[in-house]
Amino acid sequence: MESTVRRQLASWEIHGFRTMEDLDFGNIMEEARARWLRPNEIHAILWNYKYFSINVKPVILPKSGTIVLFDRKMLRNFRKDGHNWKKKKDGKTVKEAHEHLKVGNEERIHVYYAHGEDKPTFVRRCYWLLDKYATKVYRNHNPLI
C-alpha cells in the first residue's frame, strides 16, 4: 500500500492520471512527434516535474516534436534555441501569441506560440502553470505557511 501512495501523481483529481503508468510518458513522447499534447497531459507533467529530467542548458536546434523540460526561472535564455523565429514589426523581438489553457473547468496553464520565420508551419509552444496554482502547490506541501 505504501509504494502505491508514493507512486501516485500529485493533482491527479484534476488531470486524471493517478500514476506514472496511467500517464505513460514514453507513449506520450512518441505521439508528441505527430500531435500537440493535451492540456491534461501537460498539466500532469508540469505538476509532477520531479519524475522527469530537467535540462539545465537550452537545447540547440531541437527537432520537430521534441519535448524539453526546464526551469524557466533558473534558465533565463530558454528561448535561444538557434531557430529563426518570426519577429515583430520592430525586427528585434520574437512575435509570440499568449493564451491560457483549461484543464477541467479552469484555466490552469499558460502557453505561448512562436512561428518559424523560414517555415511558418514550424511552431514552438512553451507551457507553464499559472502562478495561482503553483502557489497552491507550494502551500499544500508546506504546512508551516
In the prediction, which pLDDT does 65 show? 85
Which residues on neighbouring strands pair with residue 109, listed in sequence order?
101, 129
Q: For 120-140, give one letter per residue: b (16+ CB within 10 A) or e.
A: eeeebebbebeeebeeeeeee
Q: Which three cell numbers stand for residue 8?
A: 501516485
Enclosing domain of residue 6: 2-141
Q: Which of 83, 66, 84, 72 is nearest to 29 (CA)?
A: 66
Q: Which three cell numbers stand for residue 22?
A: 496511467
pLDDT value of residue 102: 95
Walk along the chain (145 residues) in steps of 10 and give the mean pLDDT of each run.
60 90 91 90 91 89 88 84 94 94 92 91 91 52 40
User: Based on the structure, what is the number of domains in the chain?
Assistant: 1
Please tell me what DSSP assigns to residue 24.
Answer: -
CA 23-27-30 angle, 5° bins: 140
Q: What is the DSSP string of 115-138?
A: EBSS-TT-EEEEEEE-HHHHHHHH
In this prediction the pTM is 0.80
Q: Report whether 101 contacts 87 (CB < 8 A).
A: no
Q: What pLDDT is recorded for position 132? A: 67
Distances (CA, A) of 16 to 19, 115, 142: 9, 31, 24
- End-to-end CA gap in the chain: 29
